[in-house]
Structure 1
């Protein structure tokens, strides 16, 4: 009986998660041709087509979906076995504070994977504004945070006088994009209908400030309470907004229907680990979270 190569299965899982060979190549630190060859070998081993390639990326076939289900279990079992041999066995309560801009479609799956890998680890997750995560670092109400910051933006930390009270570990860098649904129509209003979050969100304040600087006419067509609501309003074609790449819904795309939209900087996600009072559990969890969240 043939045995699957775990490296090939890991490539299958990564292509399925990222949606394209090129995106998977970046995550795996391989060339696109190397990723394509690994998928070819896996398909040859199975005698089945696992992905359909097209202009919009790679999508799993029914056979690919079935294999992905087995793949996730095999990779998880491999990780558990390896960590057991390394003596890694996290247990206890870990409090995470996370921005809802971070990979909204994948975050629940990532947390579920952590729970499955470490059944003795109790996760307590709260969704907060990035500014609040950084400002409250070190105050004791969470162990590790995950915040988003524009490239070149100063820290949100209110206490920082040349030195931050936390370690900031870069996890992921993404584009910040103007987006709208393909069905969105300006309807001859002359002003740009904008979907926004409350002004307590620093990213939304920045977006509106950039529009004002560009002297573009706009109005708030829809105000959402969180990223999930903003995504729903975008999908419904209610207006235009600005989102980081991993938070853009699959039925929404880059918007180029208005000339003069301001160019937006990239954003970076950082793990926020308070320096004061970091316990052993948090210190051990940081390395694992870096690997999982990247």
Structure 2
């Protein structure tokens, strides 16, 4: 069997790593710091890739760099190629991935991620030191910016972080107990998370836009405590539709409640990841993308 002649168009794996890092970080400067190289060195790598492939890969704008259509295609293929390459090297040398991965996730989605993603990751990479934490999305965003986390799955509000990769759209709804009756002339009693919660922001923004008065009758950092407050009829809350129990019902315009806006769950990388830990961080990111993209944690094919 003859091997196809590619005209010597072999790709530099290290240049591919730089390309992936630039897209993830959103700028050459941040990627250079991540890769422990100069900006000019990364620019030269990208230039050689573009010359080799005879196409433009990155588009430079006022907010950083984004992949071109051809770059989007290369990004998907490069991630898989690097994953396979690193896995092959690890198997042949007996040196699997190592390093430290600090992963953050919102509490409302933690049970599914803890049960169905993290054990598989650790089973595949037993030498990796994984540290997983839960916190509201706003707090996760701040921890990422401080460098306290390597990567996180978080909602894109109330504290927005640049460079997030969309995973799935959430389904926020107004939730109340089955027999809850709303007094449309009285302030709406709410069960809420603290200020860092994206669903709290969605609900409060919608109510204030409608001019509807409200007050927090119950506030807790625990999603289970908020859900219990809804189930027993203490208050109304904003929950992901998938978290509704048989004791709850969805409220809407018929109950004089405004439509809620959208919120996107995204995958975010820290701008400060040790080079020795980067392959392990990317390996977890690959697994999260595969299992959460489009479908989220509720309907994925595990």
TM-score (norm 2): 0.56
Q: How many residues align?
A: 200
Q: Structure 1 CA distance, aligned partners of 2:223 and 2:202?
A: 16
For residue 216 of structure 1, report the CA deviation from its aligned partner.
Answer: 2.3
1:245 aligns with 2:251: no
SS of 1:124 mapped into structure 2? strand
2:284 corresponding residue in structure 1? 285
Q: Is the 8 A contact 1:104 1:247 kept in 2?
A: no
1:156 aligns with 2:155: no
> Residue by residue, what CA displacement relative to the aligned partner does 1:38-63 show, whole Å, maximum 9, x if unpaired?
xxxxxxxxxxxxxxxxxxxxxxxxxx
Note the 1:42-121 alignment, pairs <5 A: 89-101=96-108, 103-110=109-116, 111-121=118-128
1:209 corresponding residue in structure 2? 205
1:170 aligns with 2:170: no
1:137 corresponding residue in structure 2? 144
Q: Which has the larger radius of gyration?
A: 2
> Residue by residue, what CA displacement relative to the aligned partner does 1:146-167 show, whole Å, maximum 9, x if unpaired?
11025xx8x624xxxxxx3xx3
**Residue number among 255, 258, 262 corresponding to 2:251 in the alignment:** 255
Note the 1:218-233 alignment, pairs <5 A: 218-233=214-229
Q: Structure 2 CA distance, aligned partners of 1:225 and 1:276?
A: 28
TM-score (norm 1): 0.57
**Residue number among 176, 194, 198 corresponding to 1:180 in the alignment:** 176
Q: Is the 8 A contact 1:97 1:142 kept in 2?
A: yes
Cα pair distance change 1:116/1:254, threshold 3 Å: farther
My pick for the range that moved more, 208-217 or 250-259, is 250-259
**Which consecutive unaligned segments of at least 5 residues does structure 1 have?**
1-82, 158-163
Q: Structure 2 CA distance, aligned partners of 1:90 and 1:189?
A: 60
1:128 corresponding residue in structure 2? 135
Q: Structure 2 CA distance, aligned partners of 1:121 and 1:253?
A: 43
For residue 104 of structure 1, report the CA deviation from its aligned partner.
Answer: 4.6
Q: Structure 1 CA distance, aligned partners of 2:201 and 2:169?
A: 20
Q: Is the 8 A contact 1:105 1:247 kept in 2?
A: no
SS of 1:221 mapped into structure 2? strand
Q: Is the 8 A contact 1:175 1:265 kept in 2?
A: no
Q: Structure 2 CA distance, aligned partners of 1:251 and 1:93?
A: 42
Q: Structure 2 CA distance, aligned partners of 1:251 and 1:84?
A: 47
1:31 corresponding residue in structure 2? none
